[in-house]
């Protein structure tokens, strides 16, 4: 194997629920991943990276074994597979298939059941895809239950009378409530993480590439919640306008040809813009422009 091929970073991209969100995040960070219909080895516009689509449950094991150098997996499946101490936890990336919020593994029971807390489920049957973590959770709270693996449609297990409770993943709880279930405890909060093989992390060339990936992925993810706004502000009311503006550091203020006006530019959280722009307009700002950001480092 040539030195050049040894330096290529082997990247694991999660297949399944996180697949589209992850590929979109990579594109915003500067890497275009193009999938093929007949294999799991997509093209990526970087000669220093080779990509593989893998089930999120398997990525931790592949990286621990050195089959992959770096990848994105869920903290839940990293814990479930027992690989936390066998890989380098590089960084957290808090996003999901539909939002930028972490997901939760929760303990849920039928809405009309008498169970109010984990202790009420002593001796009962619990269905889940996350057997190891669920057993550890009940051991931690001191409750003896019968945990069995669910091959899918976990919410229906309680409805069908096959289980007394479930441990299932949710972002908002909507699907769980739609099945007539009630959450009685949170088992684990999970989100995607960047992990690396220990030997790859110790290799200076691969470490530099992992650092580059991490920096730009985090920058692209951070930019999703921010926008830039630019405006012309009257010099006579500049202080009042600046007091309205949150920013990463401080707004940029530049002189204009007309000394009565100044150009003001800043970055703010997207959630405040709808209230902020009318207030800026009332304070005399004009030519207010809002624009999206690709990355914020």
Query: Kind and range of the H or E element at 176?
Result: helix 174-178
The model's pTM is: 0.88
List the one residue out of 223, 220, 186, 215 whose CA is nearest residue 102.
Answer: 186
For residue 112, report the phi and psi dihedrals to the nearest 5 degrees. -100, 15
State whether 114 and 184 are in the same domain.
Answer: yes
Name the maximum alpha-carbon separation found in the chain. Answer: 78
Alpha helices in the chain (DSSP H): 3-6, 19-29, 56-64, 75-80, 131-140, 154-159, 174-178, 198-202, 204-223, 238-244, 273-282
- In whole angstroms, give the CA distance from residue 61 to residue 19: 18
Q: 27-50, pLDDT tens digit by residue?
A: 999 999 999 888 899 999 999 999
- In whole angstroms, give the CA distance from residue 164 to residue 156: 11
State whether 145 and 37 are in the same domain.
Answer: no
* Residue 1 counted as domain residue: no
Structure-token pair, residue 20: 């589209």
- Residue 259: CB atoms within 10 Å: 8
Q: 247-260, pLDDT tens digit by residue?
A: 667 899 999 999 99
State whether 201 and 59 are in the same domain.
Answer: yes
- In whole angstroms, give the CA distance from residue 221 to residue 297: 10
* Residue 162 counted as domain residue: yes
Tell me the CA distances in angstroms from 235 to 242, 260, 279, 289, one per residue in order.
11, 5, 17, 18
* Residue 149 counted as domain residue: yes
State whether 108 and 91 are in the same domain.
Answer: no
Q: 72-114, pLDDT tens digit by residue?
A: 999 999 999 999 999 999 999 998 766 778 899 999 999 999 9
């Amino acid at each position: 194997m040539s030195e050049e091929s040894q330096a290529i970073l082997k990247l694991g991209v999660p297949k399944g629920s996180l697949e589209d969100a992850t590929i979109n995040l990579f594109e915003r960070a500067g890497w275009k991943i193009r999938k093929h219909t007949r294999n799991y080895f997509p093209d990526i516009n970087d000669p220093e990276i080779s990509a593989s689509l893998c089930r999120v449950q398997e990525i931790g094991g592949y990286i621990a074994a050195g089959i992959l150098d770096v990848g994105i997996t869920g903290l839940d499946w990293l814990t479930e597979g027992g690989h936390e101490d066998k890989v380098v936890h590089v960084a957290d990336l808090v996003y999901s298939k539909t939002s930028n919020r972490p997901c939760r593994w929760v303990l849920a029971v039928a809405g009309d059941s008498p169970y109010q807390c984990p202790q009420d489920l002593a001796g009962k049957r619990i269905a889940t895809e996350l057997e190891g973590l669920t057993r550890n959770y009940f051991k931690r709270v001191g409750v003896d239950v019968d945990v069995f693996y669910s091959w899918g449609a976990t919410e229906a297990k309680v409805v069908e009378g096959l289980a007394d409770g479930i441990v299932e993943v949710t972002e908002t709880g909507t699907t769980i409530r739609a099945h007539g279930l009630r959450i009685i405890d949170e088992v684990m909060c999970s989100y995607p993480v960047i992990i690396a093989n220990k030997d790859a992390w110790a290799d200076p060339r691969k470490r530099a590439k992992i650092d580059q990936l991490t920096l730009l992925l985090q920058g692209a993810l951070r930019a999703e919640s921010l926008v830039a706004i630019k405006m012309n502000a009257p010099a006579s009311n500049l202080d009042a306008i600046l007091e309205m503006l949150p920013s990463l550091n401080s707004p940029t203020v530049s002189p204009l040809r007309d000394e009565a006006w100044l150009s003001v530019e800043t970055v703010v959280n997207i959630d405040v813009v709808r209230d902020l722009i009318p207030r800026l307009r009332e304070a005399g700002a004009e030519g207010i422009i809002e624009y999206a950001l690709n990355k914020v480092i």
